[in-house]
Amino acid sequence: MSLTWSVPDLMQYRDEGLSFNKEVVLPLELFRSDPEIRSISPVEVKGVVEFSKRSLTFHLRLSGTMVLPCAMTLEDVDYPFQINSAETFLLTAGNANEDEGEFVHTIENEQIDLTPYLVEAIMVEKPMRVVSEKARAQDHLSGNDWALVDEETSKHQIDPRLEKLKKFFDD
């Protein structure tokens, strides 16, 4: 289901208001600028439209699940998200920067399509890294010539290449 409305259709709801609850399938191609997003479930979008003289404001709540790589093992991790967002569209062509602190969009061709704003909100809220429960549960991660150590262990550990220098300071 699409989240696209024409301005005349929206204006019919000016007096009684408009609220909606839709499930939207966002194609993975929309997230191509971030290859870490491996897949995304259908996104539930709940919203209310606020009408004013000069603008329409969509108050949105997005929820769904995206699949991201684990930072330690690169395995798929389901990452649930719940995002609140507000998008304001000017009804008349004017100064888009007049509402300081808000992002204001202009309406093109008398159509409002929320899809690019949903994609942007999801990408902004994507975490820098996620770690799977399986990787967290492992006591000691190591491999050939490497080991993952915590900060406390690394403070007490001496680099073997510098071990010989220690005897010069034992005088």
Q: List, for residues 114-160, the tens digit of each pLDDT value.
A: 999 999 999 999 999 998 888 777 766 667 777 777 777 677 777 77
What is the rounded distance in angstroms from the CA atom of residue 5 to the CA atom of residue 21? Answer: 14
pLDDT score recorded for residue 58:
92
In the chain, how many domains are there?
Answer: 1
Q: Is residue 31 part of a domain?
A: yes
What is d(CA 83, CA 94) in angstroms, rounded to the nearest whole number?
Answer: 29
**Structural domain includes residue 127:** yes
Predicted local distance difference test score (pLDDT) of residue 94: 60
Residues of the chain with pLDDT below 70 are 1, 93-102, 139-142, 153, 170-171
Inside any domain, residue 63: yes
Report pLDDT for 39.
93
pLDDT of residue 125: 92
Instruction: Indicate whether 51 belongs to any domain.
Output: yes
104 within domain boundaries: yes
Q: Is the pTM higher than 0.85?
A: no
Q: Which domain holds residue 14?
A: 4-132
Flag whether 153 is in a domain: no
